[in-house]
Amino acid sequence: MSELKNDRFLRALTRQPVDRTPIWMMRQAGRYLPEYRATREQAGSFMDLCRNAELACEVTLQPLRRYPMDAAILFSDILTVPDALGLGLYFETGEGPRFKKTVRSEADIEGLKPIKASDDLGYVMDAVRTIRRELAGSVPLIGFSGSPWTLATYMVEGGSSKDFARVKAMAYDQPELMHQLLTILADAVADYLTAQIEAGAQAVQIFDTWGGALSAAGYKEYSLKYMQRIVARLPKEAEGRKIPCILFTKGGGQWLPAIAESGADAVGIDWTTDIAAARAAVGDKVALQGNMDPSMLFASPARIREEVASILEGFGHGSGHVFNLGHGITPGVNPDHVTAFTDAVVELSPQYHKND
């Protein structure tokens, strides 16, 4: 593997000195880019795009050609694990992901297909290896997975949900069943992320998109506990370098001190949490990632720059901050506004690292 030319992102995740705040963007390879839409059309379907290593590599690299991103993120989907477990993932236009089978009983859980990620999700590892080769050490590659709780919400509900009624009913009324499902998922995700690291991922992120839908007690029991189980099982280094792990719970700002104790190296925060308050809450336990409101990218470039300045000032001096949006970029954003965003981080952040 080639030498890493830009390790700013990895250094910030482990709170080492950097020359400026590193930046990447959740869903940076996506529908807001015309070149992505063209490649997606060429692939035929979203899952065909995920399963084609060369095309998945192409869309991963597209944002790096336009913007000064300090990391690439594997192009894939959080629902690859439930798909491999035998639920039959498909996408309805305008409706989001759906599964042919749901998991609502003990028999359904027992019917899940045991998986070995390096084989059953081999197409993801092919994509990781292809991307690493094409990056040629320019920036690090992030691997990722959905959290066990987030995956369970889709598996029990059968797709997206507004109220999570079925999955919460299982958690609160049949806790043994929910713990059985979450244990299977945690072990599958640990295996999946380990396989990504072995294939070449240099950092990993666990997307806990729906953890914020739980009560405080429910979050610790059904989400955080299982993410901790995963973090404990991940390889701590590869290729002679530490492999940092980021936990991102959307809507989880009120649980930051608990998340900071998870064993992860960094915590992603959404835009509803003030970054100064977040830094005060976690101290020097973990790095922070975030947290501009994705909708800010619909504002003028001047307003975007003001917001970047405000977030940088909120975090303050020193390392341990990775600039990102507080959630994935919205598909309708003008790509030029992303230029304003990334340029502002590049230009305004060095002053916060002068004494590092």
| pLDDT (tens digit per residue) in 178-196 | 999 999 999 999 999 999 9
pLDDT for residue 206: 98
Q: Rounded to a whole number, what is the largest CA-CA distance in the chain?
A: 59
In-domain check, residue 50:
yes
Catalytic residue among 8, 40, 229, 279: 40
Strand 89-92 with 96-99, pairing: antiparallel
Catalytic residue among 32, 36, 67, 154: 154
Low-confidence residues of the chain, pLDDT below 50? none
pLDDT for residue 95: 75
Domain around 82 = 26-287
> Which residues does residue 96 pair with via DSSP β-bridges, in sequence order?
92
Q: pLDDT tens, 222-265?
A: 999 999 999 999 999 999 999 999 999 999 999 999 999 999 99
pLDDT for residue 31: 95
In-domain check, residue 7:
no
pLDDT for residue 2: 61
In-domain check, residue 158:
yes
CATH of the domain at 116: 3.20.20.210
In-domain check, residue 123:
yes
The answer to whether 279 is a known catalytic residue is: no
Check whether 187 is labelled as a binding-site residue. no
The answer to whether 40 is a known catalytic residue is: yes
In-domain check, residue 337:
no
pLDDT for residue 313: 98
Chain-centre distance of CA 36, in angstroms? Answer: 19
The answer to whether 154 is a known catalytic residue is: yes
DSSP state letter for 235 = -
Check whether 327 is labelled as a binding-site residue. yes
Check whether 209 is labelled as a binding-site residue. yes
Catalytic residue among 15, 27, 132, 229: 27
Number of folded domains that form the chain: 1
Strands, DSSP E only, in 28-151? 72-73, 89-92, 96-99, 141-146
In-domain check, residue 331:
no
pLDDT for residue 92: 76
Check whether 31 is labelled as a binding-site residue. yes
Work out the number of other CB atoms within 10 angstroms of the CB of residue 64: 19
In-domain check, residue 186:
yes
In-domain check, residue 112:
yes
